[in-house]
Every structure is written in C-alpha cells, then in structure tokens.
Amino acid sequence: MSCPICSGRLSACFKAKVLHKYEAQYEVCDGCGFLRARDPHWLAEAYAEAIAMADTGLVMRNGLLACQLAGVLYWVAGERGAGRYLDAAGGYGMLTRLMRDFGFDFYWADKYSSNLMARGYEYVKDLGQCQAVTAMEVIEHLTDPVKFVEETLAAAGSDTLVFSTQLYEGAVPDPHAWWYYAFATGQHIGFFQRRSLEALGRRLGLGFSSANGIHILSRKLVDERILGIVTNRWVCLASPWWTRRKLGSKTIDDQTSMLKALE
C-alpha cells in the first residue's frame, strides 16, 4: 500500500485497541508523515451516532472555532465577509448557526448527520458558488482526504478550504499518551503533520497555510502572519463583535424568514 496523499511508502508503526475490541494496525508514510489506521473496518459501528458520546468538548469547541473563523473569513480568506460560505460535514448545524449569528451568509451540508440548529440553510448547488468552505474537525475522520478536499471544493465552486485538525510534529506520537487518537470512539483514523498537508495541497494545486490550529488550503495567496494574529485565542474573541457590526447579524432576519415559511 502507498500513501494516499503523496504515494510514499507506508510503514507499520504500532497496534492499538479501537472501540475497546478491535486490534488496529497504524502505519505512517515515510515521505510526508501521514499517519493512519489501516483498513478501518469498524467505521459503521463507530458512526452509529454521528457525534461521539465522549465528545464533551463539542459546544465549547464550536464557540472558539466560530470566533476564529469570523476573523479568518473577514480578514484573510473571505473578502471582508462578502459572499456565501459552506460548512461541509457540518454535524448538527451549530457552527453554521453561529456564523450566521456573526453576520456571515453560511450554509450547512452533511451526508451523515441531521441539521438540527440551522434548518432552512442547507446548501444546494442552485445557491451558487461559495467564497470559502469550512470543514472543522473533519479531515482526521476520512479514509481519503485528497478526494474529500477535491470533491468538496468542486461541489461548492470554491478554491479555499478552511479547516481544523490537531497536527503532530516529529516522531509518531506515543499511542499511550496522545489523546487525539481517540481509540475509544474509533472515529479518528488519519493524522497529519504540516508536511502532510503541504503535500496534499501540492497534489491539488493549492497552497497551504496554518496558525493556531486553523489551516487553509487555497489557490489564493494567504498571509500566514495575519492568519496567526486573527486566530490568536484572545484576539479572536473580538472578531464576532466586529463582524456583527460590519455585516449585521442574521439572527432576527433568519427568524423572520422561518416564521414566514411556517405560515
């Protein structure tokens, strides 16, 4: 087997128990450092529910990511918030709802989850092209990350993907020490270094930028210094206030639209 990102050689590195019962072999690419579970046959069981019961950080994570995204999409990757945006693999719709509250014209899509919090704002191609696509805490769940990036951008007519995932540096992380493996849930099956994502970008003709846990693959030039500023944990807390002031929150307008739809 060769690496699905750079076609380099994959070497076995460790075994671990997944879902407390399946022995999984993990392998790493000698070329780009991509680390994955080989043949994750347990995925259907792992996704019996779209959101893992143990994901207690879901709400807090969405709140922080929304603040970071507000700054990124206004100052770095979104033409001052103009245009339309898509949250791919958007789960229950929490991030889409937050971004609309912050003033962005956001829409939701997810093949495997129900839209509970942003109903009425499901993305369809008739809406037109998107300025950027977000995919937060998604790429580590994928058996083929290259295909996902390529197909998601094509479906949205976009050339920019903003996403989050935990990167590792240097040697393969100790399976007894790195929480991000999440063996108990079985949903995290692919892990990346910066060079893994740079290789993915080169394969698709996209540049790669990263700061403070937010990553961007784009055909547009991204200033990584500004990306670092707007995604800073403290700076980003001011971004929703700024975007609501400049763009206008959609909370009340969306409520009015939904009430009309119920008439």
Task: Tell me the torsion sign for CA atoms 133, 136, 138, 139.
Answer: positive
pLDDT at 60: 83
Q: How far is CA 252 from CA 97, 109, 237, 256, in A?
A: 12, 22, 22, 6
Asked if residue 104 belongs to a domain, the reply is yes
Task: Tell me the torsion sign for CA atoms 117, 244, 224, 178.
Answer: negative
Asked if residue 181 belongs to a domain, the reply is yes
pLDDT in tens, 76-104: 987 888 899 999 999 999 999 999 999 99
Asked if residue 216 belongs to a domain, the reply is yes
Asked if residue 74 belongs to a domain, the reply is yes
Asked if residue 5 belongs to a domain, the reply is no
Asked if residue 164 belongs to a domain, the reply is yes
pLDDT at 261: 85
Asked if residue 45 belongs to a domain, the reply is yes
- CATH code (residue 105): 3.40.50.150
Domain residues for the domain of 154 are 10-262
Number of domains in the chain: 1
165: Cβ–Cβ under 8 A, 6 or more apart, which residues?
137, 138, 139, 140, 192, 215
In this structure, are residues 188 and 160 in contact, taking their beta carbons and an 8 Å threshold?
no
pLDDT (average), residues 27-31 = 97
pLDDT in tens, 121-152: 999 999 999 999 999 999 999 999 999 999 99
What is the reported pTM? 0.94
Of all helices (H) and strands (E), which one includes residue 134?
strand 132-136
Asked if residue 3 belongs to a domain, the reply is no
pLDDT at 52: 58
pLDDT at 55: 67
Using N-to-C axis directions, what is the helix angle for 251-262 and 94-101, rounded to 10°?
A: 120
